[in-house]
Structure 1
């Protein structure tokens, strides 16, 4: 092993460890890996940022904008209305929903496809009186399966195509992924519909209209002369036990006390941080005569702004009598992530309140208004439906409730769909490259005002763009340093014994395993140089090996962190970390069993 190979291996191992650890965002880790390669001389400085102009990166950005346009104009909602039967049974409902999710994610961002269909899934679960997780997990897995069927279905496919082009064979065409991808996706959807949904753990809920989002953490203030004043925490907790709630912290004179002494006597204006089921939250507050802290602060804010002529204050007054409660799910690309309620100007800008946070991954006992919001959190919001909807659109949240299908303008919806189909056709028939075809589609969206100009850049998931742009030169360093050749030789000599069929299977399984714990685009970028080196040493066509990487990178079913869609359903489904493998493992076995012979048939070695 040379010094350069040792350096790139060290950087890759450290990066993969950080990807799996999840302490820092994927784009931060990828940028760190790129800069490390530049500093040690593996990537020339003049080539450090060439990845950001790569056609695959441009295509991903354009597809995200086009997907947003389809959502905004209501084109996807129209399709959902027509394809999902309203009064069907369990099997037909799951088949229609999962199939539609797979179809949409073949041509648009699969996170967006899931976000659009999730409220419909919850409505179906309510109608069928099923735990929502048994509808949500099939839908999430269906959207992941659909992504492997076309060039633009998922970023790993574009990464794989770009490596084929660099190899000298030209990029894959739009539907080169379809013969194997469609077969695997259809088999997966069929398995999920007939058997797989039954393997999803039942996370029972109190009633069909309210799903298990875990226990909320909320804050309540002890009222002067109220029931709780003068009682000890032990007495309060005995009352809370009946409602399956508990005090996890308290605040006195702005000092937060974690796990306070049970013998502590409560005083007026003490703030209790209470963990309670959302259905029991109102009963808990009423029983102890506690004042919801967010409501008290809102009332004080309204009094302070009573004579304020600011338009936002007027908006709050006009909506004050129409307040409602609504749960919002924080999407992986939400701009709320890493921010607190106090930093988002909820009251002054939107006239809404954050009442509570539900978090499955771990429990936070900080002050509610200063708690940093995370991906997958469920927020209990109070305000008018219009104001909460505006906030959800601005910050990338999904309303977890049945919602009316609203099409602002059918003509715009048809126009957006037509432009998308023309872009796909131009790329599929080779009239334009994928990057140029979809960039032209974005320009048409902008000129026709299908997407507001200010929203074009907001629609792009910039962490994904940075991730791809940073990792492309890193993957190039794997090839130029000989590290990819070394890994490929080790795989062939010690595991595959020079058998190309075994190599295809190994690449698929290893890629699939890595994608369960790290970003799928990063996984594809790491595995493609190894696949190309293995093909070169075997003297065979690299197509089957690259396609194995593409399929493996698109099959993250074992953990909630392997894919953004898995994370998105964690809280609404009431899932735990270990729930995913029960359906995910049989599905991954099915993918391997079907895709290997399909790969060898469609892409002979």
Structure 2
């Protein structure tokens, strides 16, 4: 192997290892890989950031903006209210929800589609007397299946399209080139989910109507004269038994005692760390005369805070509790309640936190929040809604329906359809069509120009822009051909069809454990190399990469939507494969014949 081939393979191996480790954000890892490729002389310095202007990256950013416009118009809420059945059995209801999510995901960001439908799904779980996870996992899998059906449905499709020109054919795939195979796979997958949703583990996570996701961890202070003062922890736990709550820690003089002995006596001023369901918190506190630590802080803040600020609104307005889950790549990820001055800046209290069923050990107010965390927030309705929108929180309860403005909905829908038609009929390139659509919604007053940048998930943009030059270096150095030769050995006796199956399965496997955009960027040069070694068309192999990169059903880390339902569904890491593994088998069984029919070798 040459120096260039060795270098790019080492960089890609390290990049994949860091993706799997998950310690650093995917966009940070991608930028590190790009800079390493530049340092090794594999990417020219003046070409390092050309990915920022790549048509695939521009299209992704524009589609994210248009998705936000569709959501804010209220049209999607109306569609949900019409399409979700109210008096059918579980199988038909789950099929309708998953099908609607798949339809939305074909033309808008699939994380946004799932976030819109999650609050609507929970009353359905309550009505059907099902654990929330048995509705949420089909919903998440439906959103993933829908994304593979169009060019704009998911970033991997755009990346695959951008590599087509390297195979010697047309420069890009058209809007609906993915539809024949993608739709066949999506319909088969949705049918399987409708029949097999009972394979989802029935995790009991509390009352689905409140969207509780297991026990929350909260802090309660023992005030002077409280019943708990002077009691032992053993006596307190006995008193809390009826409330299904327990003490898991004690804070005294800012010192945390993580596993206090049951004979320890509780004193006034101590803070008890209590694990309880949200519905049981009030009973647990009242039983022992305890006060939420946030309420104690609020009382002390009255003398020092401006009574016209957010704190005044919290103390005088209609105070409500809301449960939220932190979206993948949310702005609040890595921040703490105290770090963003949640109470003083926004008039909101963080009362409790649930993290994937794992007990937390840090102070609630200073703990760095992570994607998938469930938060119990207290505040007035409007600040809560604004805060959730700004920082990327998904409300976990049925929201009041936003009645769509007919004019706004018509304009937003018309602009989106015009962009899809322009790209679909080949009138203009996809990037130009959707950039023009973004300009149109701004000029027509559908979205303020300043909000465009808030609607873009910049971590996705940076990830794609950084990985595209790295993947191109893999092809230019010949490393992709070396990997293709190595992959051909085990399927030599099965010919091109065997190689096609191998590409599909390898891509699916990688996508279950690393970012799907990264997977497609790595596998596209390999797929093109395999086609070249076999002397067949590259298009079916690229389509196999597109299908495989979208089908991450085995783990909660393979796709953002799998992460989003982890906490609310009460799932464990190993719960996904029970429905996901047979679903991936269905995908392979349907995708391979469809590829051979619609994209002959």
1:378 maps to: 374
* Counterparts of 2:357 and 2:204, CA distance in 1: 19
**3-state secondary structure, aligned to 1:338:** coil
* Counterparts of 1:410 and 1:134, CA distance in 2: 34
**3-state secondary structure, aligned to 1:209:** helix
Alignment of 1:563 onto 2:559: yes
Q: What TM-score do the two structures reach when normalised by structure 1?
A: 0.96
Cα distance, 1:591 vs. partner? 0.2
Residues 3 and 206 (structure 1), Cα distance of their counterparts in 2 relative to 1, 3 Å cut: closer
**Does the aligned pair in 2 maintain the 1:159–1:524 contact within 8 Å?**
yes
After superposition, residues 231-246 of structure 1 pair within 5 angstroms as: 231-241=231-241, 243-246=243-246
Alignment of 1:264 onto 2:264: yes
**3-state secondary structure, aligned to 1:250:** strand
**3-state secondary structure, aligned to 1:347:** helix
Cα deviation digits, residues 426-459 of structure 1 (max 9, x gap): 0011111000000001111111221222221111
* Counterparts of 1:475 and 1:184, CA distance in 2: 27
**Does the aligned pair in 1 maintain the 2:205–2:570 contact within 8 Å?**
no
Cα distance, 1:81 vs. partner? 2.2
1:187 maps to: 188
**3-state secondary structure, aligned to 1:349:** helix
**3-state secondary structure, aligned to 2:221:** strand
1:536 maps to: 532
**Does the aligned pair in 1 maintain the 2:227–2:289 contact within 8 Å?**
yes
Cα distance, 1:277 vs. partner? 2.2
After superposition, residues 80-95 of structure 1 pair within 5 angstroms as: 80-95=80-95
Cα deviation digits, residues 252-276 of structure 1 (max 9, x gap): 2222232234443222111122222
**Does the aligned pair in 2 maintain the 1:273–1:365 contact within 8 Å?**
no
* Counterparts of 2:39 and 2:372, CA distance in 1: 36
Alignment of 1:277 onto 2:277: yes
Cα deviation digits, residues 365-406 of structure 1 (max 9, x gap): 211110111101111011222221121112121111112211
2:502 maps to: 506
After superposition, residues 516-527 of structure 1 pair within 5 angstroms as: 516-527=512-523
* Counterparts of 2:269 and 2:76, CA distance in 1: 49
Cα distance, 1:498 vs. partner? 6.5
Cα deviation digits, residues 114-167 of structure 1 (max 9, x gap): 000111111211222211111111111000000000000000000000000233
Alignment of 1:160 onto 2:156: no
User: Which of 412, 417, 420 is equivalent to 1:421?
Assistant: 417
**Does the aligned pair in 2 maintain the 1:488–1:530 contact within 8 Å?**
yes
CA RMSD for the aligned pairs? Answer: 1.6
After superposition, residues 61-460 of structure 1 pair within 5 angstroms as: 61-169=61-169, 170-193=171-194, 195-241=195-241, 243-305=243-305, 308=306, 310-319=308-317, 322-360=318-356, 362-407=358-403, 409-460=405-456
| Higher alpha-carbon deviation: 24-33 or 397-406 | 397-406
**3-state secondary structure, aligned to 1:227:** coil
* Counterparts of 1:402 and 1:548, CA distance in 2: 38
**3-state secondary structure, aligned to 1:174:** coil
**3-state secondary structure, aligned to 2:314:** helix
* Counterparts of 1:569 and 1:492, CA distance in 2: 38
Count how many residue pairs are aligned between Structure 1 and Structure 2: 600
5+ residue gaps, structure 1, are none
Q: What TM-score do the two structures reach when normalised by structure 2?
A: 0.97
Cα distance, 1:316 vs. partner? 3.4
Residues 70 and 192 (structure 1), Cα distance of their counterparts in 2 relative to 1, 3 Å cut: same
**3-state secondary structure, aligned to 2:356:** coil
**Does the aligned pair in 1 maintain the 2:442–2:448 contact within 8 Å?**
yes
**3-state secondary structure, aligned to 1:304:** coil
Alignment of 1:48 onto 2:48: yes
**Does the aligned pair in 2 maintain the 1:204–1:212 contact within 8 Å?**
no
**Does the aligned pair in 2 maintain the 1:221–1:290 contact within 8 Å?**
yes
2:483 maps to: 487
* Counterparts of 1:260 and 1:42, CA distance in 2: 57
* Counterparts of 1:357 and 1:137, CA distance in 2: 22
* Counterparts of 1:527 and 1:448, CA distance in 2: 41
5+ residue gaps, structure 2, are none
* Counterparts of 2:585 and 2:536, CA distance in 1: 26
| Higher alpha-carbon deviation: 289-298 or 271-280 | 271-280
| Higher alpha-carbon deviation: 455-464 or 241-250 | 241-250
* Counterparts of 2:304 and 2:450, CA distance in 1: 33
* Counterparts of 1:498 and 1:34, CA distance in 2: 36
**Does the aligned pair in 2 maintain the 1:54–1:469 contact within 8 Å?**
yes
Cα deviation digits, residues 561-588 of structure 1 (max 9, x gap): 1100001111111111111111101100
| Higher alpha-carbon deviation: 462-471 or 487-496 | 487-496
1:580 maps to: 576
**Does the aligned pair in 1 maintain the 2:213–2:374 contact within 8 Å?**
yes
1:603 maps to: 599
Cα deviation digits, residues 309-358 of structure 1 (max 9, x gap): 64435533441xx2111101111132111111112232233322110011
Cα deviation digits, residues 278-317 of structure 1 (max 9, x gap): 2322222122221110111122223433xx3644355334
**Does the aligned pair in 2 maintain the 1:248–1:365 contact within 8 Å?**
no
1:27 maps to: 27
Residues 414 and 302 (structure 1), Cα distance of their counterparts in 2 relative to 1, 3 Å cut: farther
* Counterparts of 1:449 and 1:585, CA distance in 2: 46
